[in-house]
Amino acid sequence: MSLWIASIAGFALFALNEIANPRGALLGKVLWKGDRRGIALTFDDGPHPLYTPRVLEILDRFRAKATFFVIGKYLQEHGALAAEASQRGHVIGNHSCNHLRMMNFLSGQKLRQEILECQREAEKWVGYRPRFYRQPAGFRNPNIFGILKELGMSMVGWQVRAFDTQRQDPLAISRRILKKADPGGVILLHDGSDSVLNQDRTATLKALPEILRVLRDRGMEFLTLEELFGMSKDIK
Ligand SMILES: [Zn+2]
């Protein structure tokens, strides 16, 4: 009997871990690693009027390409920044319309709406409907994979993240990324904020040149997700 309970508990833990795991494959395919010749920087929660232009400037300085997972509601006001990023060769991904904290508990219909509203806004500004999707907070709703499949989209996780929404120390951010980043990996950083409090992203901006410099010295090329995964950035 106790063995039985232990195995149920074990399975529950496994399932919980899978649901929260950015790389878990139990519920569906998550992309987080690709072409080992490069590395993919991804920036979530923008576009942001203060930080996105500065991220673009730093990326240009290093001739690096990246992918921006944008929030649909921010595009309504700052969509020109996504257009600018796209024109400079970066890829735009979908990070939902409202970045709801309760994303995991939404009905399939509401979830689809969150994704499609962001798709519509993105298309207005960059001229295509993004293929790549990252779920807010990295958690997953059991409905999500069916919806993405139906829409022809792909879920993107990460190989390493900096926790730069919680950390205000540039050194801690760059050290963590540089210690953990593997060839082919997807790196998660933030150029914006999901909250109305508008968190300060100065630490990320300060860490970015060091991250780019060291990874470049290691021979890494900075690829968009389109290049890293060999998949088109848009859906037809
Ligand atoms: Zn986010």
Tell me, yes or no, if 90 is annotated catalytic.
Answer: no
Q: What is the pLDDT of residue 48?
A: 96
pLDDT of amino acid 116:
98
CB under 8 Å to 57, separation ≥6 — which residues? none
| pLDDT recorded at residue 198 | 72
Does 44 participate in catalysis according to the annotation?
yes
> What are the CA-CA distances from residue 140 to residues 15, 69, 91, 177 (Å)?
12, 16, 23, 24
Q: What's the rounded Cα separation, in Å, for the pair 68 and 88?
A: 12
- For the chain of 236 residues, list the mean pLDDT of each consecutive stretch of 10: 58 50 68 96 97 98 98 97 98 97 90 97 98 85 91 96 91 98 97 82 97 97 98 95
Domains detected in the chain: 29-235 (3.20.20.370)
Q: Which of 48, 78, 190, 234 is catalytic?
A: 190
CA 150 – ligand 1 centroid, Å: 23
Instruction: Using the mean position of ligand 1's atoms as its centre, give its distance from the Cα of residue 43 in Å.
Output: 9
Q: Are 183 and 36 in contact (CB under 8 A)?
A: yes
The CB-side HSE value for 166 (13 A sphere, CA atoms) comes to: 4
* 224 contact partners, CB below 8 Å, separation of at least 6: 40, 65, 66, 67, 89, 90, 91, 233
| Amino acid 171: pLDDT | 97
Predicted confidence at residue 15, as pLDDT, reads 52
The pTM assigned to this predicted structure is: 0.90
